[in-house]
Amino acid sequence: MDQIEKTEFKANISDIRYINDTTCILIINTDEAMQFNSGQYAMLKFAGHDYKPFSIASFPKERKLEFHIKNSGYGIGKFILENLKINDEVSVQIPFGVACLKDNNRPILAIAGGVGIGQIGSIIDTALKNNRNIELFYGAYDFDNLYMFEYYNNISQNNFKFTPAIEAGKHISCKLGKIGDITLKNINKLADYDVYISGPPDMVKYTVKLLIDNSVNADNIYCDLPIEICLKD
């Protein structure tokens, strides 16, 4: 991981793309190319709110920042989906986090839940440019919330394998169940992989514990939640 000096600046919201009633993609265009490692996050502060962490879904060295936002019915996500407008000011601090793409040749196991696909997507697309072997397991509650399905289903590179899953309903292309359970059933030799996990906290905790219980070395698991927190009952 490159050591990058933190920077702070103000910007304006450039675009808000509403995926559905509870999910949006937030775009902030920037004057400078953004310096961070794929998988890191930024701290954002909106008027009347404190700084909050948001995983970066865009790629390093672009003149923009992209964030995938979920409205869980409260807090900053609710504010963004219901009140934020294009051209509103935002304060940005960047970068933070160590759950970012590692510079090695180990195969990648990427596990994303919901809007966690934003952080995981930045990692995957960067790794694909470097011809890394990648298996992506991407899950959501139902197919309507699996909003990046078409994008990843259409990647045809031989070094990329995609397994989507939903917990409710049916879809011909999706497995049914929790994404952690689906991963465990479909991957052999888990110990061979660097594992990147992003999603709702309960999903991350469940998946980390599941993998460690099945002999995955904690040193090979990368997520923003500390591993010791994930393993607490």
Structure tokens, 83 = 């009140």
Q: What are the two backbone dihedrals, phi and then psi, of residue 13, each rounded to the nearest 5 degrees? A: -65, 125
Please tell me the distance from the alpha carbon of residue 216 to that of residue 210, in angstroms, as a whole number.
9
Hey, what CATH topology would domain 108-230 get?
Answer: Rossmann fold (3.40.50)
Give the pLDDT score at 156: 85
Give the pLDDT score at 215: 87
In words, the CATH class of domain 7-96 is mainly beta
Handedness of CA 226, 28, 79, 71 (dihedral sign): negative
Give the pLDDT score at 118: 97
Give the pLDDT score at 33: 94
Sketch the domain layout of the chain as residue ranges.
7-96, 108-230
**Which residues, at least 6 apart from 219, have a Cβ–Cβ distance to it below 8 Å?**
none
**Which residues, at least 6 apart from 59, have a Cβ–Cβ distance to it below 8 Å?**
38, 122, 125, 126
Give the pLDDT score at 1: 59
pTM over 0.85: yes
Give the pLDDT score at 2: 66
Please tell me the distance from the alpha carbon of residue 16 to that of residue 226, in angstroms, as a whole number.
31
Distances (CA, A) of 75 to 41, 82, 115, 121, 147: 18, 11, 16, 24, 22
Q: Which residues of the chain have pLDDT under 70?
A: 1-2, 233
Please tell me the distance from the alpha carbon of residue 127 to that of residue 79, in angstroms, as a whole number.
33
DSSP classification of residue 186: H
Strand partners, 139: 113, 165
Question: Are the CB atoms for 166 and 140 separated by under 8 Å?
Answer: yes
